[in-house]
Amino acid sequence: MAQIFNEPSRTFSEYLLVPGYTGAGCVPDSVDLACPLVRFRKGETPELKMNIPLTSAIMQAVSDDKMAVALAKEGGVSFIFCSQAIGSQAEMVTRAKSYKAGFVVSDSNIRPDAALRDILALKDRTGHSTVAVTDDGTSGGKLMGIVTSRDYRISRMNGAEPVSGFMTPIDKLVTAREGVSLSEANDIIWEHKINTLPVVDGEGRLRYMVFRKDYDSHKENPLELLDGRKKYVVGAGVNTRDYKERVPALVEAGADILCLDSSDGYTEWQRRALEWVRAEYGDAVKVGAGNVVDGDGFRFLADSGADFVKVGIGGGSICITREQKGIGRGQATALIDVNAARGEYFDKTGVYVPLCSDGGIVHDYHLALALAMGADFLMLGRYFARFDESPSNKVNIGGSYMKEYWGEGAARARNWQRYDMGGAQRLVFEEGVDSYVPYAGGLKDNLAITLGKVRSTMCNCGAVTIGELQEKARITPVSATSIVEGGAHDVVLKENVINLGNRV
């Protein structure tokens, strides 16, 4: 007979945090949400950390280069989806890595004999309004001038005007010589009240561009997550089929961390992929793995070399794996079980393997519960799919704006590799749905509210770090009746009365 677990499989909604003592210094502004992203040994520090405990899911409707930049600005990491051609995924990584840096190699360049229409086409392709004019149209050619949106007026020009006629020429530009420090470059920008500072070598060839907006961006986003070259930290997903070709391309593109994307990580295919990465790159390439829902699955992936382990099967809002296959486990129960195994593994080996809770987040307070239950960080799909920065379309449904959102197991995604069991190279049946989520606007403001709730909850528990939360938190299961009690009840909400009065 099959092994039967005595305890029921529980979700985050079946638990509440019990308040602890809150000292005078325990205020939201004092809360530090930094967390490890990759494994490390006891007494050492992880090579990669995040400033907030959030990552975006490896999904077509969630994580592209635009989301990668937006989330890195806030201190998290986006894992660019892998259910696309290797080349296109690598290009997304490259765009995200080159978006922000102290010294930027120009990717918008043009010859002086080009026309205005060429400037407009280049702007549409790159999204950048500042274009370097070089003698050969390359990023390393001799700098002739600069074109910005202030140099032309489309309504008064026909598109055939040569760039040389309306660009700001080199003799009217403020430039810096190669070797200038970033601090010095920013001083020049402020002193001359300019937005762009070209950096040239001794022969006048363009080397870099330094942008005022990058300095302003850092001041507006103090938690932004940067690598050693002051570029945004970017993640990318890989599968267990073409990893031998995909991993090298993503590493070459600059990806800081990879993650095996699969509905079930307790497989021979993930072990082979992890062992191949270690054999080819040693510890230089960081790669997470998953998903698992129990201690056995965790130990398997940790022993195989995973840098972090994702926890969760079937808990995503668009996931129907449990309905289709009867496979999975309540997210809270899975996380509690895996966290216990992680503790045993740490005691035995001295190696700390971070846990990523993936799925099951319905309300903002679930984030705090997941962290208290042992997650180092979380991976969210539906949450990020609602924002402007997600790659899906915004549509008007019945007078309300929505964003399209579909699962990687849906027919639309055609991501059979994520559900590959070593069989036919096609999706035999769906494990995800095609849906909509309410449009919520920009990521920054929404994320600030969510993290504000998490910080406030942590203070209620007397904690100012995630580690302290996990030590001090007290969690209680709740009954169905207490769940009802926790919301508005036994009153008539004003909005319902107003809606009733507006009925015809």
Confidence label for 425 from pLDDT (cuts 50, 70 and 90): low
Tens-place pLDDT, residues 375-412 = 999 999 999 999 999 999 889 999 999 999 887 766 66
Catalytic residue among 418, 455, 459, 461: 418
Per the prediction, the chain carries an average pLDDT of: 90
CA 161, CA 113: separation in Å to the nearest integer? 9
Tens-place pLDDT, residues 453-497 = 999 999 999 999 999 999 999 999 998 877 777 777 778 777 776
What pLDDT score does 130 carry? 92
Residue 319 bears catalytic tag = yes
pTM (predicted TM-score) = 0.79
Confidence label for 499 from pLDDT (cuts 50, 70 and 90): low
Q: 10: which residues sit within 8 A by CB, 6+ positions away?
A: 330, 332, 333, 477
What pLDDT score does 44 carry? 96
Question: Above 80 in pLDDT, residue 501?
Answer: no
What pLDDT score does 489 carry? 74
CA 53, CA 356: separation in Å to the nearest integer? 9
Question: Above 50 in pLDDT, residue 504?
Answer: no
Catalytic residue among 82, 319, 459, 461: 319
Lowest mean per-residue pLDDT among 215-219, 246-250, 474-478: 215-219
Residues 384 and 56 sit within 8 Å (Cβ to Cβ): yes
Residue 461 bears catalytic tag = no
Question: Above 90 in pLDDT, residue 89?
Answer: yes
Question: Above 80 in pLDDT, residue 420?
Answer: no
Tens-place pLDDT, residues 23-70 = 999 999 999 999 999 999 999 999 999 999 999 999 999 999 999 999
What pLDDT score does 433 carry? 67
What pLDDT score does 236 carry? 98
Tell me the residue ranges of DSSP E strands in 387-451.
Answer: 394-397, 400-406, 434-438
Q: How far is CA 126 from CA 107, 162, 169, 258, 442, in A?
A: 8, 20, 22, 25, 21
CA 367, CA 445: separation in Å to the nearest integer? 17
Residue whose entry in the numeric block shows the structure tokens 């932004």: 224
